[in-house]
Amino acid sequence: MSLYLEDLQVGARFTSREMRVEEAAIREFAQQFDPQPFHLDHAAGAATLFGGLVASGWHTAAMTMRLLVDGGLPFAGGLIGMGANIEWPKPTRAGDVLHVVSEILAVVPSRSRPDRGSVKIRSRTLNQRGEAVQIAETKVLAMRRPSPG
């Protein structure tokens, strides 16, 4: 399945595969990009408002992208985002199993470039209890189906 601009309808929903979040992956991401104690160590996390080790929000964002690229949003030509509005209502913890449910909010053909448009999407990243660990509204490029010949 490879979706073009004209295939996308407001209200359409897409569901990704699942991904289990390993503790080692939380620490590894944090060491590289967000080396704060509550992303690296249980005891340090327990002393904070998180009450334990939690993933960096940017790690949750990156894992969400992986789930979208792996079939969660099967756009022709790939997923090229122009921006995003993100919230993290709850933290991601080791052992969580995440999946992403995306909904098309708007489809906007380009006025200047007739071969493309932009699509506004809300992607909710849910854990195994159905709690949202991330809600992102993104604007993604979508290409129109090439005309034959």
Q: Is 23 in the site for a second copy (CB under 8 A)?
A: no
d(CA 38, CA 90) in angstroms, rounded, equals: 14
Residues 98-113 as b or e (16 or more Cβ within 10 Å = b) = bbbbbebeebeeeeee
* Distance of closest approach, residue 7 Cβ to a second copy, in angstroms: 19
- Taking a C-beta distance cutoff of 8 angstroms, is the pair 95, 21 a contact? yes
Q: Is 5 in the site for a second copy (CB under 8 A)?
A: no
Q: Which of 1, 49, 147, 148 binds a second copy (CB under 8 A)?
A: 49
DSSP assigned state of 75: B
Query: Which segment (5-13, 31-39, 96-104, 124-132) binds a second copy by CB under 8 A?
Result: 31-39
Q: Is 63 in the site for a second copy (CB under 8 A)?
A: yes
Residues 6+ away with beta carbon under 8 Å from 34: 56, 58, 59
* Distance of closest approach, residue 29 Cβ to a second copy, in angstroms: 8
Q: Is 76 in the site for a second copy (CB under 8 A)?
A: no
Q: Which of 57, 105, 110, 144 binds a second copy (CB under 8 A)?
A: 57
Q: Is 84 in the site for a second copy (CB under 8 A)?
A: yes
